[in-house]
């Protein structure tokens, strides 16, 4: 009989790590889990584990999906155990073995109804050392996100986790999802007698049976009950009733797996505590049209406010037409008096080119200038604090700053920015392929030598992501955000005719007048325009509008 967890001098570290993925919201994933994913050479994951977590993996990690995609391709638990052992054995023979691991990523907590116990046993039998990283289980997170405390001194001091699935212990059916079969193994008389808080996993299909058995065994029919579907996701849905009514109410609301059922007096507290579903943008699906890099900033804020966010990149950053000229300019940066960046994209493109050329911060020019705070932030993120930053992202403002920084006054005249002389100063502008000429003109007029070098270009992506098309097609998108005239024009170009009219039916949030004008020209007038023409301004306008309309409805 093998002993666990089977560490040896040869393998003093775990080979396999069973990692709890948490209930869905990636913010509920543990730091230890993120670290294990970053180290993983192989990741075997389920349907319930949020696929966004895979972003923590290194690019060369082997990712193996073993969840339910369609019936034919579902692995049985025995096959999953075998695959896990096989992958660990393969990995143990690899040269990177001691420093990395094989991660088995499972929804919620690996040892709560996830059959992680069986997987750990298979590892023990195969003499493979392992570790377990717990996750937040759906039976804790679901009630919390529905505003239901699982224990409360006024109501109960016990909470019981129960499977609503039949033969959980012995079946070799696929490991995730629900079963509609009869339930066995659960001591209903004991549960009804204990009462307290009862939390059922995998019980949606069996709900009529579960609730009937509890009442037959003496649980009062008016005991409060709730079902929470897709807990912690922006799509979370909760139905509340009593043990007598909940099965029918859930059926009427078409609740499907994954869902958690909570039965007990604590459910009554939800009325005062339903925080997650009360967030300002909860229930609103938003399409965010920006570049990939920029989208997440707005998307993250909307998500935080409760929205379901779908990103629809309408602008793509690509290498410049003359790549060689860009690389040469970057290689020669140190020879200029000043390098000027006029966008965060320019900073990121330059940084990538520097990495390719094996250059670092020491190869920058003596003086670095940035247009506005966003470009300065991008420079900070690569370890450069710009010497000159214009207050706003306006070329003319930056030109004035540069001229007064470098300008030498004509000694025969009074100092005045119009007479400052930049002759002898060499500037390198690293910019987009199409950029306004005013900055170059103002610097040259002041006598400077200016090399204006495109280091990236913007393009229209070939197509929208599938989830964006699908959400537009099925009419779930409520709002579309537009952060520039080009996001509007590009979206129009990218959409097929029938979906253009769908955009007309959604609400459209514009960052400011220029974008609103472009929208109006496309036949999509803005529903709402931000008063402050930036991302916080857009978010503020949206929250104000939605909260105003919900209070208007409520009163």
Q: Which residues make up the interface to ligand SAH (CB under 6 A)?
A: 23-24, 48, 106-109, 112-114, 137-138, 142, 176, 178, 201-202, 228-232, 257-260
The token pair at 210 is 């579960």
Sorted by sequence, the CB contacts under 8 Å of residue 346 that are 6+ apart come out as 375, 430, 431, 432, 455, 456
Closest Cα to residue 541, out of 314, 292, 301, 293?
A: 301
Q: Among all chains, which residue has been given the structure tokens 């930036």? A: 534
By beta-carbon proximity to ligand SAH, the closer residue of 119 and 529 is: 119
Q: How far is the CB of 155 from ligand SAH (least distance, A)?
A: 22
Q: How far is the CB of 23 from ligand SAH (least distance, A)?
A: 4
Among residues 87, 202, 354, 442, which one is catalytic?
202
Active site residue 202: yes
By beta-carbon proximity to ligand SAH, the closer residue of 48 and 287 is: 48
By beta-carbon proximity to ligand SAH, the closer residue of 112 and 286 is: 112
Active site residue 68: yes
By beta-carbon proximity to ligand SAH, the closer residue of 191 and 369 is: 191
C-alpha span between 515 and 167 (Å, rounded): 59
What residue ranges in 67-204 does DSSP mark as E strands?
A: 101-106, 130-133, 159-163, 197-201
Task: Report helix, strand or coil for 426.
Answer: strand
C-alpha span between 436 and 441 (Å, rounded): 10
Per residue in 212-225, is it b (16+ CB within 10 Å) or e — as a string? ebbbeeebeeebbb
Distances (CA, A) of 44 to 26, 41, 105, 378: 18, 10, 6, 36
Neighbours of 27 (CB within 10 A): 9
- Ranked by CB distance to ligand SAH, the top (closest) residue is 108
By beta-carbon proximity to ligand SAH, the closer residue of 9 and 27 is: 27
Distances (CA, A) of 253 to 23, 59, 228, 240, 408: 22, 41, 11, 11, 74
Q: Rounded to the nearest 5°, which phi and psi values hold at 37?
A: -65, -40
Q: How far is the CB of 235 from ligand SAH (least distance, A)?
A: 10
Sorted by sequence, the CB contacts under 8 Å of residue 182 that are 6+ apart come out as 166, 209
Q: How far is the CB of 138 from ligand SAH (least distance, A)?
A: 3
H runs (alpha helix) in 305-364: 323-331, 344-356
By beta-carbon proximity to ligand SAH, the closer residue of 229 and 348 is: 229
Q: How far is the CB of 255 from ligand SAH (least distance, A)?
A: 10
Q: Any idea which residues carry the catalytic annotation?
A: 46, 68, 202
């Amino acid at each position: 009989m093998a002993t666990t967890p089977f560490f040896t001098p040869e393998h003093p570290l775990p080979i396999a790590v069973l990692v709890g993925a948490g209930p869905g919201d990636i913010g509920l994933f543990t730091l230890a889990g993120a670290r294990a994913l970053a180290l993983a050479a192989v990741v075997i994951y389920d349907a319930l584990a949020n696929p966004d977590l895979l972003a923590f993996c290194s690019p060369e990690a082997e990712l193996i999906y073993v969840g339910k995609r369609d019936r034919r391709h579902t692995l049985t638990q025995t096959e999953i155990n075998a695959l896990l052992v096989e992958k660990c054995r393969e990995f143990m023979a690899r040269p990177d073995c001691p420093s990395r691991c094989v991660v088995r990523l499972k929804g919620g907590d690996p040892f709560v109804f996830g059959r992680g116990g069986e997987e750990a046993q298979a590892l023990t039998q195969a003499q493979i050392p392992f570790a377990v990283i717990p996750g937040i289980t759906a039976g804790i997170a679901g009630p919390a996100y529905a505003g239901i405390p699982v224990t409360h001194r006024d109501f109960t001091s016990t909470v019981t986790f129960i499977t609503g699935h039949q033969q959980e212990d012995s079946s070799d059916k696929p490991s995730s999802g629900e079963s509609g079969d009869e339930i066995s193994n659960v001591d209903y008389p004991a549960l009804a007698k204990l009462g307290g808080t009862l939390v059922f996993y995998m019980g949606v299909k069996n709900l009529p049976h579960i609730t009937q058995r509890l009442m037959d065994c003496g649980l009062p029919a008016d005991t409060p009950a709730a079902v929470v579907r897709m807990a912690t996701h922006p799509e979370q849905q909760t139905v509340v009733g009593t043990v007598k009514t909940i099965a029918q109410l859930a059926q009427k609301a078409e609740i499907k797996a994954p869902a958690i059922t909570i039965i007990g007096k604590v459910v009554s507290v939800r009325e005062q505590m339903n925080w997650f579903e009360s967030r300002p943008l909860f229930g609103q699906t938003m399409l965010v049209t920006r570049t990939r890099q920029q989208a997440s900033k707005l998307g993250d804020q909307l998500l935080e406010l409760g929205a379901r966010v779908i990103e629809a990149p309408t602008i793509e950053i690509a290498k410049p037409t003359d790549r060689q000229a860009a690389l040469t300019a970057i290689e020669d940066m140190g020879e200029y008096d000043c390098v000027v960046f006029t966008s965060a994209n320019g900073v990121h493109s330059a940084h990538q080119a520097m990495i390719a050329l094996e250059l670092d911060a020491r190869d920058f020019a003596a003086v670095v200038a940035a247009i506005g705070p966003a470009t300065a932030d991008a420079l900070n993120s690569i370890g450069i604090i710009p010497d000159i930053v214009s207050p706003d992202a306006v070329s003319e403002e930056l030109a004035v700053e540069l001229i007064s920084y470098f300008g030498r006054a004509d000694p025969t005249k009074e100092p005045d920015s119009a007479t400052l002389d930049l002759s002898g100063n060499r500037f390198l502008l690293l910019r987009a392929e199409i950029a306004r000429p005013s900055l170059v003109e103002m610097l040259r007029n002041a006598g400077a030598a200016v090399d204006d070098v495109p280091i990236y270009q913007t393009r229209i992506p070939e197509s929208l992501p599938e989830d964006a098309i699908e959400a537009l097609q099925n009419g779930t998108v409520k709002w579309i955000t537009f952060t520039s005239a080009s996001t509007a024009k590009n979206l129009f170009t990218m959409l097929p005719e029938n979906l253009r009219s769908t955009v007309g039916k959604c609400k459209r949030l514009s960052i400011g007048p220029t974008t609103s004008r472009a929208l109006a020209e496309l036949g999509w007038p803005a529903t709402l325009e931000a008063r402050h023409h930036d991302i916080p301004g857009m978010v503020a306008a949206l929250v104000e509008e939605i909260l105003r309309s919900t209070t208007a409805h409520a009163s």
